[in-house]
Amino acid sequence: MLNQESTPFTTRDDRRLFILSSLATAAFVTLVFRLFYLQVVCGSDMARRAEMNSTQILPLLAPRGLVYARDGAGEEVLLDNAPRFSLFYAHNPKGSVPLEKMEKELASRLPHAGAALIRKMGEARKSGKMTRILTNIPRETALALMERRIFLPGVNVLVEPQRRARYGQLACHLLGYAGEVDEGELRRARDQALRPGQWVGKNGLEKMYDPDLRGTDGGLQFEMDAAGRHVQVVRRIPSVPGADIHLTLDRRLQSVAEAGLGGSSTGRGAAVALDPRTGAVLAFASAPGYDPSQNLGDYLGDPDLPFFNRALQGIYPPGSIFKIVTAAAVLKDTTWNTRQSILCTGSYDLGTKKFGCWKRHGVLDFFGAVAWSCNVYFYNLGRTAGPDSIETYAKAFGFGEKSGLDLPGESPGLVPGRDWKRRIQKQGWYEGDTLNFCIGQGAMTATPLQAAVLLAAIANGGTVWRPYAVSHAVGPDKKILYRREPEARRRVVLDERVWSILHRALEGVVTQGSGRGVYRPDLVIGAKTGTAQNPHGEDHSWFSAYAGRPGEPAGLALAVFVENGGQGSVAAGPIAKAMIEAYYPRPTP
C-alpha cells in the first residue's frame, strides 16, 4: 500500500498549479471590472434606454384561402379577401400625451365606436399588450389617424384581410360565413392556437374546411420609445395564406336556381342539383338568403328565416315525388302488371274513410298514373307492396338518414314504419298509414337534398352517392393538398326490367304528363311533380328531374322545392326548366 506522505508534488506540478491559479485570478478580476463598468459607469445610461424603449408585437392576420366555383370552361372566385383598416393600441404609462386627450380625439374621429372604443383601450391598458381595439375603420379616417400618429402614441393603424363574398348572397347556405373568433370559441379551441382577432369559419364550408382555409398568422415585432412610437421593426414573421378550395358548384346554374326561387310566389324554397355520375353538387340554393359580407345582425328579425338552410335542414312531406319509391318497391317485390288499369273517381274508400286524389283521372294504367300523379292508383300500389317494402326502399334510396354532404346541421328526415310508430307513438300501424305513406304524406318527411339524391340514383341505375361540394384543395405553394373522389354509399339493386319501366314512366311525365313544361326534343328528361299537403298552411310545391343528352348518361339530377308554393308543375316546374336550360343550353340554329 502506498503512503500518501511519501508522494510530495514535484517541481513540474507546482508550475502547473501556479499557471492555473493565475488564469483564474485574471478571469475573476476581468469579470468584476466588467460588472463595475456596466452597473456603475454605464448603469444610468442603460437604465434610461430600458426605460425609453420596449417592444410590442403587432399581429399579421393570414388571408383566408380563396374559394372557387366552376364557370363554363374555367373557374370564378366566390370568396376572397378585401382590405380593412384596423386600429391597434399599446398603452405606455410614460407616454407623452395624456390618455384622456387621446381618447377624446379618437372618440371625435370615430363617433360610431362610442363606449366600445374606450372599453377596449381600458382592456389594452390592463394587458399591456398591443390590442386590436377597432376594425373596419373608414379609409379616410384611417389615413387621418396615421397622419396624427405623433399625437397618438401607442395607436397604430394596420391593413388586414377581411372575408368578402364576391357575388353577395350567391350560394351563401353552402359557403357559410366567417367572422372574428369569439370568447366561447377561444375557450373551446385552446389546442388550435386561436387568438383574438383571428377569422374563423362559423357555418357552411367556411366552418367545415376552416383548418385548411385559415392559414397561419404572422407578426411584426416593433421597438417602441417611451412615447409609444415605433422606432424600428425588430423582427418580421410573414403570414402564410390558407389553402384555396375548389368547388364542384356550377356558378351559372347556381345563379339561375337562386333567381328562380327568389322570383317564386313565396320567395321561400330550395333547389339542389347533383351530377348523377359522381354525386358532385352542381347547385345548392336556399331562399331567402343573406350576404355574408354585410352585417348579419340585420337579418335576425326577418320572419322568412334567411339563415335557415331549407335545402339541408328543412324537412317536408315529399308528396308525389315519393311515388317513385313506391313504384320501385311494388315492381321489385310483387308481380304487379304495369298494363293493369284502375278507375280513378277522385277518391279511394277505406272503410268509412275516403282518401282523395287531386282530380278524377278516369281509367289509367301504371304509366298514366305516374304521368298524371294519380293518388288512387298509388293507393292500390301501396297496399300491394305493403309498408315494410316501401320503408325498405325509402331507406335504401337515402331517406331517413343524413346524406353525408360535408356541411354542418343536416337533418335526416323521417321514414315511418311499424316499429317507429310502435316506439314513438305507442300505436299500431293502420291501413290508412300505408295510404298516406305510399304517396309521401303522413309522417314521411325529407329534405330537398335527399330528393335530389333519389333522382340521381334513379338516373344512374341505383348508385346512391354521398354528395360532395369540394373538388380539391390547393396549398400556398400551388400543390394539390387533396382531391375528393366520388363515394358510393350503397347500390339499390333492381332488375333491368324495373329500371327500364321506371325510366319510361318518368320520361312519360315530361312527354305527356304533368311535367310537359320542361320538355326538350334534344334531351332525355325524366321528372316527377309533387304537391305536398301541408297541415300548417298552403301546400308545398315539388319538381324533381334528371336530364341528359340522348345516348349519354344523364349529367344532371335536381329537386326544386317551393315552400307553400302550391301545385308542383306551376311553382317549382319553371325553376327546374330554367336550371335544365342553363346546364344544357339549346343548340344554336
Domain containing 311 — which CATH number? 3.40.710.10
Total domains, the chain: 2
Q: Once rounded to an integer, what is the mean pLDDT over residues 454-480?
A: 98
At residue 334, the pLDDT reads 93
At residue 145, the pLDDT reads 84
Inform me whether the pLDDT recorded for 203 exceeds 90: yes
The helix (run of H) or strand (run of E) holding residue 547 is strand 540-548
Give the whole-angstrom CA distance, residue 132 versus residue 117.
Answer: 10
Give the whole-angstrom CA distance, residue 17 versus residue 23.
Answer: 10
Q: Once rounded to an integer, what is the mean pLDDT over residues 360-384?
A: 98
Which residue reads 445610461 in cell numbers? 45
At residue 39, the pLDDT reads 55
104 lies in a domain?
Answer: yes
Q: Mark out the alpha helices in 95-215 (DSSP H runs).
A: 99-109, 115-127, 139-147, 172-175, 183-188, 204-208, 210-213
- Pick the closest to residue 120 from 155, 69, 72 (CA basis): 155
252 lies in a domain?
Answer: yes
| 165 shares its domain with 259 | no
| 570 shares its domain with 529 | yes
| 64 shares its domain with 125 | yes
544 lies in a domain?
Answer: yes
Provide the residue range defining the domain that includes 460.
248-290+305-583
167-170 own/partner pairs: CB under 8 Å, 24+ apart: 167/78, 167/251, 167/255, 168/291, 168/293, 169/258, 169/289, 169/290, 169/291, 170/78, 170/251, 170/254, 170/255, 170/258
pLDDT in tens, 221-246: 877 666 555 566 778 889 999 999 99
| 335 shares its domain with 380 | yes
7 lies in a domain?
Answer: no
Q: Mark out the alpha helices in 334-475 (DSSP H runs).
A: 366-372, 375-385, 387-396, 418-420, 431-438, 448-460
374 phi, psi to nearest 5 deg: -80, 120
| 209 shares its domain with 258 | no
Give the whole-angstrom CA distance, residue 530 versus residue 445.
Answer: 13
Q: Which amino acid is at 122?
A: G
| 285 shares its domain with 226 | no
225 lies in a domain?
Answer: yes
| 265 shares its domain with 135 | no
At residue 129, the pLDDT reads 75
pLDDT in tens, 287-296: 999 999 888 9
At residue 133, the pLDDT reads 80
Inform me whether the pLDDT recorded for 40 exceeds 70: no
